[in-house]
Amino acid sequence: MVLKLEIAKIPMLSVRLELQNHLEMLKRPGFATELKRLNGQPVRTEYQDWFGLPEVLLTQVLQRGILGLEGYLPAAVRIGHERNGGDPEASYLINPFELPGVGTADKFYNQLPAKLDPAFSLSKHDGELWARTSALYREVRNPIFHGHQLVSIELAAVVDIFAHVCELYDWIDTWMPLHEVAPGAWQVSHRRVIPIPADG
């Protein structure tokens, strides 16, 4: 290794919480006005004070939301794979890009979960959601991961993409519920991560 950096997996619950925090920020009353920074003040987020262009902030938030999902999905498959007696360090769990398939979306949302059960493939589970996911990758994810960024403040469109990502988490939860990923501590209710009561 050339760069001696210590790297660890992102906690799966943190990914879900970050998504929820960003979605709440995007839907915050007055956020569209905050983004324009007319008073010279930074945009305040859960994680930073943003002094830059609003289009770049929205691009970064989108990148984080999709990147988190792409980290969460292999981890969910890894848990199921290990429970089924498989090798949790199988190479395709570490690098889903080595799986067969056409493009990133197919490898992550069809080929990877199919390693647990072919019925878990998104295209088999929900063809309409798969078609939208394929389009999302082609039209948004791939460009913003490869040198492109948003050029206008289309807040409603960004919220729609976050709602789509929430649908993908809902799909993952059908075969690997969050309470199994983070046992005994959390549940999903109306796409929000909330504490389970101590007596629940």
Residue 149: what pLDDT?
Answer: 96
> Does residue 194 sit within a domain?
no
> Does residue 9 sit within a domain?
no
| pLDDT, mean of each 10-residue run, the chain (200 residues) | 77 87 91 84 91 94 96 92 82 89 94 94 97 98 96 91 94 89 56 46
Q: Which domain holds residue 62?
A: 14-189
The structural domain count of the chain equals: 1
> Does residue 4 sit within a domain?
no
- 3-class state of residue 43 by DSSP: strand
> Does residue 57 sit within a domain?
yes
Residue 94: what pLDDT?
Answer: 85
Beta strands per DSSP E along 32-131? 43-44, 49-50
6/180 Cα distance (integer angstroms): 27
Which positions ≥6 away from 167 have C-beta within 8 Å?
A: 129
Question: Tokens in use for 200?
Answer: 């629940």
> Does residue 87 sit within a domain?
yes
Residue 183: what pLDDT?
Answer: 64
What Å distances lie between residue 100 and 56, 105, 115, CA to CA?
33, 11, 11
> Does residue 6 sit within a domain?
no
Q: Which among 49, 93, 69 has a CA at the least distance from the CA of 141?
A: 69
Residue 199: what pLDDT?
Answer: 41
> Does residue 30 sit within a domain?
yes
59 strand-pairing partners: none
> Does residue 200 sit within a domain?
no
Residue 174: what pLDDT?
Answer: 94
